[in-house]
Amino acid sequence: MRQMLPWSTFSPTRRHILAAGLVGLGTGATALGSSLCRAAEAATLRKLAAEKGLLYGTTIAATQITGDRPFADLVRHEAGLVVAENEMKWQVMNRGAPDDDDYAPADTIADFASANQLVLRGHNLLWYHRTPSWFFNLTDRQQQEQAVIDHIRGLAGRYRGRIHSWDVVNEPIEPKDGRPDGLRTEVFLETLGPEYLDLAYHTARGADPNAQLVVNEYDVELDSPEHEARRGALLHLLEEMRRSGTPVDAVGIQAHLTAAGGPAFSAPLLRRFLADIASLGLSIQITELDVTDEKAPADVAVRDRLVADTYRRFLDAVLDEPAVKMVVTWGLSDRHSWIVRRETYQTKWRTDDATSRPLPFDADLEAKPAFDAIAGAFAHAPQRIPG
Ligand code: XIL
């Protein structure tokens, strides 16, 4: 049984949506309790997505499951899928030596998914940016290859049968590196050559034959020469993988978007790109959606509207493509966002001290206009065959 949240826990925005649902139900007073439950159920992102054959989910961290009960409850309520924000990354799990990995935090997330009947994504098997330092010191090619195989077999094998889809290689392309094939010149390419992709995907297929195998990539969404070059390189890679029989099932579009001050967005251009991917027989997942408001005005109402508009325009465009089967936001509440924490690639643009508001719920777990935008996009999305 899914847990029902009391009415008072819903924000004014959400109560408005729920009340609209109640009007639609035409309830009498005696039926109000159960109608409230039905309306509340109808308004969750999980449910709105599922009605269209879509999976909606979010990242979660083990410490949030163990230490932030209200947030974990919100995840249970809103999400149909979870993905570990960091806990399944090789460098994060590894204690500093080959075959010495700490699976406890990753297990916490996998068990949370099982206990709550949530679909589990795997992120990720190989990412140059989160590779243990000892791997960089290996000089023997056979050892390098064996380390990659052992890692993929160990991690994907541990959760065999429990993972919906694995990001096997994260962020494999970078046209700026100047290779004709557009591949990123990173540690796995430098040690094993471009064949590392074939090795990784075949090993993943063997370790968990029922998991969808995904190529996950960023900055392929917008109308700029840089994104265009990245789209071309990604399509080229996918065509090559298809041609050579490398097992790949889906493409992950990360979609870390900006509400203001970024490159232009063109819905027709993005739709064309998604159709090109679909024509290769691949499904598409939106894997890391969030909207930074770093260059938007400080005024909260203005910022929230710009963020919501960005979600709406993006989702309306991508959900037109029936091959898009999944939408994952990179967090659910501004309380836990890498943008708010300013990690990794996040530059500080603001001169004021305003805290970023990139996700559907604010730091107090109240729904924001971004929630309404995502809910609306799911409600208007064409029906699709789940994937
Ligand atoms: C980010 C996490 O959100 C941060 O907590 C961490 O410090 C760095 O990684 N693309 C990806 C994700 O594929 O794994 C990244 O996650 C965000 C960019």
Residue 111: predicted pLDDT? 98
Distance 79 CA to ligand 1 centre (A): 19
pTM: 0.91
Determine the atom of ligand 1 nearest the C-alpha atom of 218: 10
Task: For residue 26, count CB atoms less than 10 angstroms from its CB and return exposed for 0-12, middle for 13-18, buried for 19 or more.
Answer: exposed
Report the nearest-CA residue for atom 4 of ligand 1.
338
User: How far lies 229's CA from each of 129, 248, 267, 272, 362, in Å?
Assistant: 21, 22, 17, 15, 35
Is the CB of 90 inside a 6 Å radius of any atom of ligand 1? no
Is the CB of 292 inside a 6 Å radius of any atom of ligand 1? no
Question: pLDDT (tens digit, 9 = 90+) per residue, 51-81?
Answer: 999 999 999 999 999 999 999 999 999 999 9
Rg (CA), the chain: 21
Distance 25 CA to ligand 1 centre (A): 42
3-state class (DSSP) for residue 59: strand
Is the CB of 288 inside a 6 Å radius of any atom of ligand 1? yes
Low-confidence ranges of the chain (pLDDT < 50): 1-13, 15-42
Is the CB of 112 inside a 6 Å radius of any atom of ligand 1? no
Residue 181: predicted pLDDT? 97
Distance 256 CA to ligand 1 centre (A): 10
Beta-carbon neighbour count of residue 281 at 10 Å? 11
Categorise residue 146: left if φ over 0, alpha if ψ from -120 to 50, beta otherwise: alpha
Determine the atom of ligand 1 nearest the C-alpha atom of 59: 3
